[in-house]
């Protein structure tokens, strides 16, 4: 494994015009009502949280993509093209789950032509190992909680606000990784100091 690469976790999630119902406060005796149009329009989000394998001072990096509908192989290749620009050609080890679009023949053929990208697969049924799952949870508990938008643009705006909140708090992406129990940076041997 190339230790000078970015370790990037990628995951997709969906949002719709149906509100994410969460607990809230209201005056005693007044049950809060959430009025919305019964609308099933959906959008899909792809988030990629990157951590540098040898230099934690470079910080965590978040790449985000939102589109109407759902992702297929072609849509995910578009996300990876955006990631390539985002990481400016630096080496990336991409860690994601076993979704069929992640491992399709077309995806594997596209990845084979990319010298900057290596794929690694998360164990089956282990979403708790992907820090992006915690990013989705954070968005859905804050910005998207009880949001009854009229248009997908309302959901997109709220999502962008959440991504901005997470990007401006450098500790939050690291807390997502810490919550998984995974570490990126190998411990230095006791006889070597950093920088030797």
- Better-predicted residue by pLDDT, 175 or 35: 175
* pLDDT (average), residues 67-92: 93
Task: Check residue 20 and report its DSSP letter.
Answer: B
* pLDDT (average), residues 41-53: 88
**Nearest of 156, 133, 161, 158 to residue 145 by alpha carbon:** 158
DSSP reduced 3-state for 88? coil
Residue 105's pLDDT is 95
Residue 48's pLDDT is 95
- Better-predicted residue by pLDDT, 154 or 83: 83
Percent of the chain past pLDDT 70, that is, above it, reads 79
Judge whether residue 22 has pLDDT over 60.
no
d(CA 47, CA 14): 11
Lowest-pLDDT choice from 6-20, 53-67, 106-120: 6-20
Question: Residue 88: which region, alpha, beta or left (left: phi > 0; alpha: psi -120 to 50)?
Answer: left
Q: How confident is the model at residue 42 (pLDDT cuts 50, 70, 90)?
A: confident
Judge whether residue 20 has pLDDT over 50.
yes
pTM for the full model? 0.81
* pLDDT (average), residues 117-127: 92
* pLDDT (average), residues 113-121: 95
Lowest-pLDDT choice from 3-12, 76-85, 129-138, 148-157: 148-157
Residue 140's pLDDT is 86
Beta bridge partners, 146, equal: none
Residue 18's pLDDT is 54
Q: Is-contact 7 95, C-beta < 8 A?
A: yes
Beta bridge partners, 60, equal: 51
Q: In what order do the strands lie in the sheet with 117-121?
A: 60-68, 42-52, 6-16, 92-96, 117-121
d(CA 134, CA 129): 10
Judge whether residue 96 has pLDDT over 70.
yes
> φ, ψ for residue 124 (rounded to 5)?
-60, 145
């Amino acid at each position: 494994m190339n230790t000078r690469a970015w370790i990037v976790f990628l995951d997709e999630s969906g949002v719709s015009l149906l509100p994410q119902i969460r607990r809230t406060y209201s005056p005693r005796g007044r049950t809060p009502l959430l009025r919305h149009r019964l609308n099933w329009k959906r959008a899909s989000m792809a988030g990629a949280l990157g951590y540098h394998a040898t230099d934690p001072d470079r910080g965590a990096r978040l790449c985000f993509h939102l589109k109407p509908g759902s992702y297929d192989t072609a849509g995910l290749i578009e996300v990876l093209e955006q990631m390539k620009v985002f990481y400016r050609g630096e080496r990336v080890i991409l860690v994601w789950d076993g979704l069929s679009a992640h491992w399709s023949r077309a995806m594997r053929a596209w990845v084979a032509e990319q010298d900057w990208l290596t794929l690694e697969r998360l164990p089956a049924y282990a979403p708790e190992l992907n820090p992006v799952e915690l990013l989705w949870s954070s968005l859905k508990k804050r910005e998207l909680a009880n949001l009854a938008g009229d248009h997908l643009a309302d959901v997109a705006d709220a999502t962008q606000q959440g991504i901005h909140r997470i990007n401006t708090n450098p500790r939050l992406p690291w807390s997502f990784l810490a919550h998984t129990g995974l570490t990126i940076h190998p411990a230095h041997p006791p006889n070597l100091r950093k920088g030797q």
